[in-house]
A and B are shown apart, each in its own frame.
Chain A
Amino acid sequence: MRQGLCIVCLLALLALAGCGGEAGNTQPGGSTSPTSSGDVPTTRPSAEQARAWRARGRAACAGMQPVEGARHFKEAAERAGAHGRFVGLVTEPTAAVEQSPGYPKLVAAFYATTLPAPQRTLAAAGCAEELAARE
């Protein structure tokens, strides 16, 4: 009887050792601090550069309706690396997207992908102004 009890205890211990395999991420150790990085330009544009980039955006988008602009810049944006789904969202918008007050800004950002990164923000702002005026 005593032997039997010892065996049961041993087997129970073995079974419990296997329970360490429960799936889950309950072990401590991972940091939960947010990490953020991003727009850390090494040099800020001069006032003249800023004006020029904004003007460039206005000129590029002048006289176009937003969806017209999106299709106009499609090829250049794809060459610059714009991805398939995003290209479709911008150039073949649903009615809800096209009618959104944010659509000119979306097209402007799409246009800006054809430019060097430092110029994009200001050029997009200029382009968005032109497209919004033509809506």
Chain B
Amino acid sequence: MKRKFAVLTVLGALLAFAVPASSMASMSPATHTFEIAGGTLSPKIGTSLGSCPITKISGTIPGSPANETETLFPVSTPTIGTCTAGTTLTLGGSWTFGGASYQTQLGGPAATLTMKFSSLPNCKLSSTSPALFGIWSNGATSPKLLKSSYHAHSGSALTWSNDGGTCAVAGQTETVTWTGQSAGAPLGAGTAATVTDLSNPNLVVVLGANK
């Protein structure tokens, strides 16, 4: 009886440890809705020909235990502000956000991103798996509320293609910039957007190591 008990215990323990540790980061508070917004200094997606600000990134943190084990969470398609004249940005598909500790990724394999520029007709710049990388800084609630912040850091490569005509650089890639703005300074001086817990503005949205 005791031997059977010991064997069952060992087998159970082995089963528990066999579950793959595939996740990297946790996000809390669970089930809360969060929003990353930069206002007039929102991060911008940019190329040599034009740029567009992303004024809002929002989503709902999964409930427990998924919020402590999932790496990436679904978010709403980011909100685009007013682009530079002649620039069009279209975002589609399903977007995700998350990452490992302070390094985050916005986009994902099911997201789409397309940019067009009226100064360069017959060309479009797009990706079916965009990745916009950012740096997350956790805030605090003591001694007073300090909201977490998000700093846009870099973007992935997009590909040029024909759009209703012949594009000279079709097939070539170009890496978009994804960076914060700074009033009065060259693009990339590095402002951060604030992360707000919309479910309870008195709390801090935290990104941390998984449990």
A residues bordering B, Cβ < 8 Å?
3-4, 7-8, 10-12, 14-15, 17-25, 27-41, 77, 81-83, 85-87, 89, 93, 97, 100-103, 105-106, 108-110, 112-113, 117-118, 120-121, 123-124
What count of chain B residues pass the 8 Å CB interface test? 79
Q: 5 other contacts beyond A38-B89, A100-B168, A110-B48, with CB at 8 A cut-off? A: A97-B168, A102-B166, A102-B168, A112-B49, A120-B49
Q: Assuming the A-B contacts A11-B16, A83-B177, A86-B48, are A35 and B78 also in contact, with contact meaning beta carbons closer than 8 angstroms in the complex?
A: yes
Q: Which of A3, A21, A86 has the most CB of B within 10 A?
A: A21
User: Do B74 and A108 have beta carbons less than 8 Å apart?
Assistant: no
B residues bordering A, Cβ < 8 Å?
1, 4-5, 8-9, 11-13, 15-16, 18-23, 47-50, 52, 59-60, 62, 65-66, 69-96, 108, 110, 112, 116-123, 165-170, 172-175, 177, 186-187, 210
Contacts of A3 in B (CB 8 A): 5
User: Do A21 and B19 have beta carbons less than 8 Å apart?
Assistant: yes
Contacts of B9 in A (CB 8 A): 7, 11
User: Do B19 and A28 have beta carbons less than 8 Å apart?
Assistant: no
Q: How far is the CA of A77 from the CA of B49 in the complex (A)?
A: 10
- The 8 nearest A-B residue pairs measured at CB: A11-B12, A30-B74, A38-B88, A21-B69, A102-B168, A109-B120, A34-B92, A37-B80
